[in-house]
A and B are shown apart, each in its own frame.
Chain A
Amino acid sequence: MPHANALYGPLDPAPDAGYEDPPPRMGFFTDTSVCIGCKACEVACKEWNGVPESGLDLLGMSYDNTGALTANSWRHVAFVEQPRSAGWATPAFEGDPDGPAISPVTAAAGARTSTDTGTDPGLPPGSPGAAARMSSGPEFLGMPGAQPPGRGSGAEGRTDFRWLMMSDVCKHCTHAACLDVCPTGSLFRTEFGTVVVQEDICNGCGYCISACPYGVIDQRKDDGRAWKCTLCYDRLGVGMTPACAKACPTESIQYGVLDELRERAAARVAKLHERGVPEARLYGHDPNDGVGGDGAFFLLLDEPEVYGLPPDPIVTTRDLPAMWKRAGLAAVTMAVATAVAFLGRRQ
């Protein structure tokens, strides 16, 4: 008897997947407010999991030369330069003889770049116009004014500045669309509630890639199979911390029992609000959200889409019963139409 929330809503995924008396659900809490962008998570992940190189091109997206989560990058550190206040800090460039911010222009340039990540679809180029608005700041698309910089009062120049960094990873959704749509059973739910691809089963049908609402899972070229973060299933099994969390120097990536992480995260948000960072918010922590809550959730300092995350993802299989109904109706319509066509008057 499937759980009432088997496709949507709060759920403990491991028992739902048939585990009897499983260990507590494990996950990641990634606190971007303490991320220093060192990328140790990316490197540790690749070392431990034997993930191949993912391109040697300068992308011009601030210090992000990885670009996105791909089959060959299971952790991805995003960098966003914004002419906005960091909340807690003194305005970075107050009193300096500078002009308006250029980050919209450089973002637009960075959006056009690409690199052969060795994966498919890998890192598609972005839309420069959309990139120019990523800073959520005032719209600005021209080059800085032609007058010699610094001649003005300085008041027109940039003063506030912040540099957001965030280590992205597979969300290990409660309702994982990739797992639901996998036709081979290659993707499975572990006893820890995480979602893992079995590389000896996957036949590279690519369905999971279109199903993921976060754009995480991806196909490796020449190999054909789909790859993503396993939350270091092999390490979890022997009681070890996943490689990325182990390598993170500032505890931006915290690994642990999901319920405990959620409590810790709520306390951290409250503390940041207290310290004058009202824009701190959690993402993916809520079991009532569109995917039943993420196994890997985040503390963000801006809207999710600024980091390349969907603002309100909903697992596609929520609508699956309705889809089958519509398909059934269409099938009947088709059969009836054929019958009518053939049963019409003979000529």
Chain B
Amino acid sequence: MAEAHPVGFQWVMEAKRRGAKVFHVDPRFTRTSALADSYLPIRAGTDIALLGGVVRYILDNELDFREYVVAYTNAATIVTEEYADTEDMHGLFSGFNDDNATYDQASWRYEGHSQDQTTRDSETQRETAAGLENESHGAPVGGETERDETLQHPRCVYQILKRHFSRYTPEMVERVCGIPQEKFLELAQAWTENSGRERTGMLVYSVGWTQHSVGVQYIRTGAIIQLLLGNMGRPGGGVMALRGHASIQGSTDIPTLFNLLPGYLPMPHHAEHPTLDKWVDSIAHPGQKGFWGNARTYGVNLLKAYWGDAATADNDYCYGYMPRMTGDHGTYQQVLDMIDGKVKGYFLLGQNPAVGSAHGRAQRLGMANLDWLVVRDLFEIESATFWKNAPEIETGEIVPEKCRTEVFFLPAASHVEKEGTFTQTQRLLQWREKAVEPPGDARSELWFFYHLGRIIRERLATSTKPRDRALLDLTWDYPTHGPNVEPSAEAVLREINGYDVATGRPLASFTEMKDDGSTLGGCWIYTGVYADGVNQAARRKPGSEQSLVAPEWGWAWPANRRILYNRASADPDGNPWSERKKYVWWDPDKSEWTGYDVPDFEKTKPPSYRPERDASGVAGIAGDDPFILQGDGKGWLYAPTGVLDGPMPTHYEPVESPVRNPLYRQQANPTRKVYTHPINTLNPSPPQEHSQVFPYVFTVSRLTEHHTAGGMSRTVSHLAELQPEMFVEVSPELAALRGLTHLGWAHLVTSRAAVEAKVLVTDRVTPLRVDGRIIHQVWLPYHFGFEGLVTGDSANDLFGITLDPNVLIQESKVGTCDVRPGRRPRGPDLLDLVVDYRRRSGNLVHRYPPMVTTDVADSSSDQEA
């Protein structure tokens, strides 16, 4: 965190100053480790084993916050007897379908529930990264649940969890992660001791957790711990996701994703959502409890915001104009389609896939096979010059004179050269003023898209073709100002907030939205950011002049709540769990919820409220159900649906691993998304043969001094000089083993590429003892490319493409490689080297690791050699 989020780390230092104990788990000792009270070196890709160990430690020692767990989580809920666990199936859950490597989730459901008919099949969910829809709400579950609040029922979630994690002993943590038991116990003890009525603990993770073939389950495991310890919805608790850029939260809220619309409404699917009714029903799940019952309202307001007067009840608010998904349109599928000539044009806005995305060579070859490419960036980045400067020029794979792609480079305005909002990880919107005019032809994204739309609409103005109506009927009337005819960002924010169509009055809350076309709003969760016609995101009252929650700094969605599910900060009766951790509570005198923050609960619903048996929507949430966007109002220790790779997290090895999974016969995530394409070769892993050809684990991440693919840092001398060369960090032990010297050269080889780097031999990297073997890990920064003031090979070239099934995020934080001293070969010799490695690893014919390995004996019986 100090390494990649130094500004945020000030609060960790502040907490430390006040006596907090900081643990840092990382494959190498970083600037964060230097300030931590305890550093745990871990084998990359084994976090679920570590966290699972903590879960087991909590359950075995009964250290969970029992009152919280019973009342606020689904620990007491009973699961159908059809469910079978990984314990009994060598690492698979019940319902696995070998044909398409997905789970039928029917056997995971709660006792007495039938499977939701509106749920898409698992394969379609995986194709469309449907897990992303759950960022703001849980997957659907219907009706009442059967509960055993003594937690003794063998099929209650608590007991299932206990059995599921029973293998995750301290010994197993040591064996899988390489973390000595004492270190693990120190962590588990501190975490549990600092949770409960009087204390809360926080879990902070960064992108390193998401970029795994089991990334969603990493975070699920963290959430399970935080629920068991009562650390959710309470001050000082939570699972904090540190994002990789300034407004990544904002770019999922108002998404730059193929499968989502603003406010986590799913992008319609051509087959499943032919009509507005079908679409909104698939979101609302009629009969389900919680706030998603109002999905029709949110959908209609969005359509009204798009098509304004043209959108009426009679034409389903122009739902027919909406584009539809036909399958996987994710970035990696598109790149492979580019290589295959199926994609003709591409827009790149503030993204540098030639350096920043997994399998850089595939990215560059794909872009070299387009008709046109528009790159908007601050500097002429690698993704704009690959056709003349890519490493593939040297190998002869791209010939500049023959490269067919016409590249349009358009200079972009930086964040200080345009106004708008950033939404950070706390869902806090902060308005940004323009400090200086952009230089030369540089323009904001808002300017670009507004005028692009305007020009297209002008060209089509006389068109009578039905297909052009969607564009011509759009409301495209933002006021502009200044010599550059810049659209007003505040006007856009007002539309996002929503307003009453007749009067133009901005809405104060999404509860004011109507589903009859009388209101419109571009993103229902953002409603309130422009309440009273005031830009609430621009509020800057200093923290010293207001309460510790600082509600008048910026604006947080939803409804300016700073902690989600904060009803959980009070006990079931509505009283604070403790004076020390008081946050939101029930005031019996006024009969309302009150506290420091905006209560995340219906303001006047008393703790004693119990819904009618068949109540749905918001009315179905009881007065002691804090998790109001979950169908059952509970925090899910166990996910009966919606998580494609299992109801509970399970340790699977990374797709490329030198180690046989010590926990189960199942080696890797059986439902991972795999692209079979000639360019996407994968290194063999146990139980496959030849995995020893790539014996070392490599992981990549950031340096404080650079930003992502380097477009904003390698181009600026004041940053470039601070980390001026590509390097690889190796332990003294690996250096001795491979003959590497400090400041000498080394190159790393995978079945995709070989990249070279200067060697930093450092005590900060240590080998680990894993399952009786010594595992060496190396680390590289992924910032370098071939443009800019400082250049170097790109670490991301080393990766293949394998994705998490829930959200289609690539496994680009861990892989296997070989490490060799000296510089890499040049020109065609480089290709020969990689081909030679592929031959040696038996991968010349594109053998992919088997999805299921439960028929191969597990490691414990064949490892002792």
Which A residues form the contact surface with B (CB < 8 A)? Answer: 34, 36-40, 42-43, 46-47, 52-58, 60, 62-63, 65-66, 81, 83, 86, 88-90, 92-103, 105-106, 109-110, 113, 143-144, 146, 148-150, 158, 161-165, 249-251
Contacts and interface: CB of A to CB of B under 8 A. Distances in A.
A58 B720 CA distance: 11
Nearest to A73: B721
Contact of B9 (A36, A89, A90): A36
Contact of B724 (A43, A65, A86, A105): A65
Contacts of A150: 733, 767, 769, 774
B767 A102 contact: no
Contacts of B7: 249
A56 B724 contact: yes
B31 interface: yes
Given A37-B31, A62-B762, A96-B768, 11 more contacts: A36-B2, A36-B13, A39-B705, A42-B718, A63-B31, A90-B186, A98-B733, A102-B762, A158-B766, A163-B31, A251-B13
Contact of B721 (A37, A53, A62, A161): A53
A98 B723 contact: no
Question: Quick one: which of B36, B38, B733 has the most chain A CB within 10 A?
Answer: B733
Interface in B629-643: none
B109 interface: no
Contacts of A86: 34
Contact of A103 (B723, B758, B763, B769): B763
24 contacts: A36-B2, A36-B13, A37-B31, A42-B722, A52-B717, A56-B789, A57-B725, A60-B758, A83-B763, A89-B36, A90-B38, A90-B186, A92-B33, A93-B766, A98-B732, A103-B762, A105-B742, A109-B741, A110-B742, A148-B774, A150-B769, A161-B764, A249-B6, A249-B10
Given A53-B721, A250-B13, A101 B732 contact: yes
Question: Quick one: which of B35, B725, B741 has the most chain A CB within 10 A?
Answer: B35
B761 interface: yes
Interface string B119-146: 0000000000000000000000000000
A38 B704 contact: yes
Nearest to B180: A95
B736 interface: yes
A167 to B, nearest CB: 13
A91 to B, nearest CB: 9
A60 B744 CA distance: 10
A89 B38 contact: yes
B54 interface: no
Which 6 pairs show the lowest CB-CB distances between chains A and B? Answer: A95-B180, A149-B733, A102-B732, A38-B6, A163-B34, A53-B717
Given A92-B39, A93-B41, A98 B731 contact: yes
Contact of B762 (A100, A106, A144, A149): A106
Contacts of A65: 721-724
The B contact surface, by secondary structure, is mixed
Contacts of B727: 58
A38 B2 contact: yes
Given A38-B704, A81-B764, A105-B742, A96 B721 contact: no
Nearest to B730: A102
B378 interface: no
Contacts of B10: 249-251
B721 A55 contact: yes
A96 B768 CA distance: 6
B34 A165 contact: yes
Contacts of A52: 717
B183 interface: yes
A301 to B, nearest CB: 11
Nearest to A89: B37
B732 A99 contact: yes
B182 interface: yes
Interface string B17-55: 100000000000101111111110100000000000000
B737 interface: yes
A96 B39 CA distance: 12
A127 to B, nearest CB: 16
B767 A98 contact: yes
B736 A143 contact: yes
Given A95-B182, A102-B735, A251-B10, A90 B769 contact: no
Contacts of B17: 34
B31 A43 contact: no
A281 B31 CA distance: 22
Contact of B35 (A34, A90, A148): A34
Interface in B742-796: 742-743, 758, 760-764, 766-769, 774, 789-790
B719 interface: yes
Given A36-B9, A249-B7, A97 B767 contact: yes
A66 to B, nearest CB: 7
A36 B29 contact: no
A89 B39 contact: yes
A105 B761 contact: yes
A42 B762 CA distance: 24
B841 to A, nearest CB: 24
Contacts of B37: 88-90
A280 to B, nearest CB: 14
A100 B742 CA distance: 16
